[in-house]
Amino acid sequence: MVVRPYKTRDAFTNLFSFPSTIYLNGHLIDDEEIVEYLIIRELIHIKLHMYPPMRYTGGLSYAEKFDSILHFFIPKEKVEEIRERIVKKLIEVNRRLQSPLFSSSSFYGAPPRAPRSTPPEG
């Protein structure tokens, strides 16, 4: 598992690495429920990707299979509430990053850059 700050992504999985690697947004890891949701969600993607379509799924699409597994672990209402919290946090992060108080270098812990000096004219 890798934690990195992303502007728009909450989490994703590299299914082609071995073992599959889950990437989580560092801005979201302060909320335990969000982290639990993201990890469960990504593990379901890995599980569905690893195995060929099951014979007895009743013709369910990927999304239907995914949702039924997810809602086995987390109730639908709770999933919707967590998704709303994720969106709000990402909007807040992007507002902060667009603020003149934050530069991309200070975001990653580097000291702020000194302003460029212009060469004297003439």
> For 71-117, what is each residue's pLDDT tens digit?
999 999 999 999 999 999 999 999 988 876 555 554 455 555 556 66
Query: Is residue 79 included in any domain, yes or no?
Result: yes
Q: What is the CA angle 53-59-19, rounded to 5?
A: 25
Written as six digits, the tokens of 81 are 């509430």
Number of domains in the chain: 1
Structural domain that includes position 89:
2-102
Q: What is the reported pTM?
A: 0.74
Query: Is residue 116 included in any domain, yes or no?
Result: no
For tokens 């639908």, name the residue: 76
- Domain of 72, CATH number, reads 3.30.2010.10
Query: Is residue 68 included in any domain, yes or no?
Result: yes
Query: Is residue 41 included in any domain, yes or no?
Result: yes
List the strands of the sheet with 11-14, edge to edge: 2-4, 21-25, 11-14
